Amino acid sequence: MIKGYMGKFLYIDLTKEEVREIPLPQWMAEKYIGGKGFGAKILYDFLPAGTDPLAPENIIMFMTGPLTGTAAPSMRACVVTKSPLTGTFLDSYFGGHFGPEIKYAGYDGLIITGKAARPVYLWINDGEVAIKPASQLWGRDALEVNAAIKEELGDDTVKVVSIGPAGENGVRYALINCEYNRQAGRGGTGAVMGSKNLKAIALRGSRQVRIEDTDTFKEAIEKANAELKESPDVQALVETGTASAVPFANETGLLPRRNYKDGTYESANKLSDIGQSKHLWLKSAACMGCPIRCSKMGVVRTGKYAGTISDIVEYESAALIGSNLEIEDIRAVAYLVKLCDRLGLDSMSAGSAIAFAMEACEKGLIDPPEDIKLEFGSVEAAEYLIKAITFREGSLGQLLAEGVKRAAEKLKGGAEEFAVHVKGLESPAWGPRGVPGMGLVLMTADRGGCHQRGFPVAYEAGGEKWNGKPVEPLGLEGKAEMVAQLQNYLAGTDTLVKCDFGGFGVQPATYARLLTAATGRTVGEDLFDHVGERIWNLTRLFNLREGIDYTQDRLPARFVNEPLPSGPNKGHRITEDDMKFLRTDYYKVRGWDEKGVPTGATLDRLGMQDNDKFKL
Amino acid sequence: MACSEKQSGGYNPRLALLKIRHINEGLIHEPVVCRQCSNSYCQTVCPVNAVERDDETGAVLIDRNKCTGCGLCAKYCYFGVIRLSNEEKKAEKCDLCGGSPACVRECPTGALELVYSGGGDNND
């Protein structure tokens, strides 16, 4: 067995109640490393085209990487499945303590398929697997379930992932809570668990993650930690997490307001690290083995929502539940985000769906529910909708539980004009009208509208140099190459599985040293670009096989048709011609044909035409 | 992490002698580790005098050769930081790594320090 790995996956078929171990093939460790790579390869090889994401046949995986659960700083794990929201490949990352515990229990990943006859949870204890009844937990919120399972098992050190009622009810953007304050948030992972009658997974393990060359590994860790200390971006996260991105996004005109209509908000500081320090934060906290400690744990002390224990309201939630809904009271935002966590909703998609409903009501396309003023700024309306969506209550709850893409298709009447999504995934809180490179990232991200598959904002609006040269913010030239390189590198390091924040500081050569020392296989710093490009082509092939083609590599209508009303890039939009230029350039850079299909030559170059298939 | 690696040769915080307890949805993270008590119950209750203080480091140490694995020390440790090893059924506790603890050496943020009460290195 290669060190760093545990050497096997755990496969569970809930329909047949079959449990077995599958050895990790050496070629897979070498070609796909871990995390996203393993997930992409298994999903592509295993899942027949056209599988309904909420059918028993879909698979849901919890994947680690060779550095997960070691002392290498800032590592995570990921959930990979076919998304019920977008129909695309879906990978969603989470920190905390559950990921490492997968390895301590003896596995590189969990692969789950089928559907249990009735609600169950999995109890995986050092290689022993029990499928346990969960009828008593069904209907309860995700955090209650976490506590209840620990009590039932008589051990509060057990690590638990759980879904809330939203996942049970098949809300297409339901999430999985991964221990407290960490979520596999995007794309509906929780709905897939719910469709399998799987309420939770509990883990305990006493195996060790072994390292090939411990001395060199410790030296590389020291280097990585030094790089984290030297990075101003990382130090900003140490101080204020992502909350200080609120004023940055506001100043650069990228902060969504009123369902992305605008890009600035005069109350931004109330939602930022300033407002959060005043009303919430008590201390910093970290995921296992991470010196960045971007968590800011706290509690709402005053007002209507006093007593709400809250982690930092990270940037995406602060923007999408805050400024995007024009809710400026951070205490209310913390409460609403926590409510999403408990009920098991992605607060990003939920925020977007609520904003969509508020605008639809403003435009007279939907009627407000009785006694509710469905308008921007209303905390009551937001709270009402979060609950209605979770329980699919009434026509409005049903409509919005499907996501804004399906909701707009159903509503018609021009609703598509303000349904802000890419491929069905509600856009992140980075309106791209002043940053076209970011626009291209959203257009081409494998899981739909996502900001974590590349972040050119740092270069386009943050003043960082790209390959030693300043970047023209509004320019289109060269953006495709930058985006493809960023995507490749991030996908490559999503195999380790690194946290994006660690990646702001830790350099490619250091990741390569960590991986070399852990596994004993000598790798160079360019490995991640190569493996990342391979993965990026594989997820593209998956999406194409699902019928998601180049016509969906586009931005929401709002960013194309409506000029930005305020901020430094006031008046700017990304036109159809801009999108066409970016797309064409991007396909060329990627070695894809004019319809965005990887060419045979490209697949040959990446070593993807071989017969290595993962078999269950 | 560092402690588990020192103890077992691999990484798994469950195998560490320094534990972090997560309380109240993660609002509180409490480190739990042997305090090398000056009035150490483990030393007093040990029926075979296997527990002794190292004058050099100040650490309370368990002599594996003398230990019979009876578990009294673990039972009466107020902080619950003594355990019986799985394989040999011998009591194990933090020995300050001989005066230079791995947890302190490898802590990336400098949050951990080895401090002797009363000042000096290990006078008390």
Distance from CA of B64 to the nearest CA of A (A): 23
pLDDT above 70 as % of chain A: 100
State how many domains chain B has: 1
Q: Would residue B87 count as lying in a domain? A: yes
Residues A11-28, mean pLDDT to the nearest whole number: 97
For A517-533, the pLDDT digits (tens) are 999 999 999 999 999 99
Look at residue B124 in the predicted model and tell me its pLDDT. Answer: 42
Q: Contact A10/A111 with Cβ under 8 angstroms?
A: yes
What's the CATH number where B95 sits?
Answer: 3.30.70.20
pLDDT band of B121, cuts 50, 70, 90: low
User: Which phi and psi angles does B78 have, rounded to 5°?
Assistant: -65, -30
Cβ-based contacts of A221 with chain B (< 8 Å): 106, 108
Pick from A104, A143, A206: CB nearest B25: A143
For residues A488 and A532, is the Cβ–Cβ distance under 8 A?
Answer: yes
Q: What is the pLDDT of residues A217-251, one digit of tens each?
A: 999 999 999 999 999 999 999 999 999 999 999 99
pLDDT digits (tens, 9 = 90+) for A154-195: 999 999 999 999 999 999 999 999 998 999 999 999 999 999
- Residue A59 pLDDT exceeds 60: yes
Domain boundaries, chain A: 8-204, 241-419, 433-605
Asked if the model's pLDDT at residue B119 lies above 70, the reply is no
Q: Do A104 and B27 touch (CB under 8 A)?
A: no
**Does the pLDDT value for residue B123 go beyond 70?**
no
Task: Give me the domain span that covers residue B83.
Answer: 2-106
pLDDT confidence of A463, banded at 50, 70, 90? confident
Is there a domain that residue B115 lies in? no
Question: What is the nearest CA distance from B62 to chain A, expressed in angstroms?
Answer: 23
Mean pLDDT of A146-156: 97
pLDDT at B120 over 80: no
Q: Closest residue of A to B29, CA-based? A: A285
As a whole number of angstroms, the distance between CA A532 and CA A361 comes to: 43
Rg of chain B over Cα atoms, rounded to whole angstroms, equals: 15
Answer yes or no: CATH 1.10.569.10 is held by domain A241-419.
Answer: yes
Model confidence at B85, in pLDDT bands (50, 70, 90)?
A: confident
Please report whether residue B121 resides in a domain.
Answer: no
Residue B6, min C-alpha distance to chain A (Å):
11
What's the farthest any 2 CA atoms get from each other in chain A? 66
**pLDDT per residue as tens digits for the range A539-552:** 999 999 999 999 99
pTM tops 0.80, yes or no: yes
Q: Is residue B10 part of a domain?
A: yes
Q: How many CB pairs under 8 A join A and B?
A: 70
DSSP conformation letters of A323-385: GGGT---HHHHHHHHHHHHHHTB-HHHHHHHHHHHHHHHHTTSSPPPTT---STT-HHHHHHH
Whether pLDDT at A484 is above 80: yes
Q: Which CATH class is domain A433-605?
A: mainly alpha
Beta-bridge partners for A320: none
Give the pLDDT mean for A42-60. Answer: 97
Measured between beta carbons, the chain A residues lying within 8 angstroms of B11 are: 69-71, 208-209, 211
Q: Give the tens place of pLDDT for each residue, A373-404.
A: 999 999 999 999 999 999 999 999 999 999 99
Closest CA to A290 of A18, A507, A74: A74
pLDDT digits (tens, 9 = 90+) for A27-45: 999 999 999 999 999 999 9
Does B23 reside within a domain? Answer: yes
Would you call A297 and B27 a contact, using CB atoms and an 8 Å cutoff?
A: yes
pLDDT tens for residues A432-445? 999 999 999 999 99
Closest by Cβ to B27, choosing from A73, A228, A309? A309
Indicate whether B116 belongs to any domain.
Answer: no
Q: Give the pLDDT score at A472.
A: 93
Q: From the list A69, A282, A291, which residue is nearest B109 (CB)? A: A291
Is A303's pLDDT higher than 70?
A: yes
SS (H, E, C) A394-431: HHHHHHHCCCHHHHHHHHCCCHHHHCCEECCEECCCCC
Output the pLDDT for position B116: 85
For residue A387, give Cα distances in angstroms to A179, A380, A382, B98: 22, 11, 9, 57
Contact present, A282 and A305 (Cβ < 8 Å):
no
CA distance A373 to chain B (A): 33
CATH number of A8-204: 3.60.9.10
Are the C-beta atoms of residues A174 and A346 closer than 8 Å to each other? yes
Query: Is residue B122 a part of any domain in this protein?
Result: no
pLDDT for position A329:
98
Instruction: Look at residue A566 and tell me whether its pLDDT is greater than 70.
Output: yes
By the 10 Å C-beta count (0-12 exposed, 13-18 middle, 19+ buried), A102 is classed as buried
Tell me whether B15 touches chain A (CB under 8 Å).
Answer: yes
Considering only CA atoms, which of B11, B23, B15 is closest in space to residue A100? B11
Residues of A in contact with B2 (CB under 8 A): 71
| Closest listed residue to residue B69, CA positions, set B53, B90, B85, B48 | B90
Please check whether residue B72 lies inside any domain of the structure: yes
Which B residues 78-107 touch A at CB under 8 Å? 106
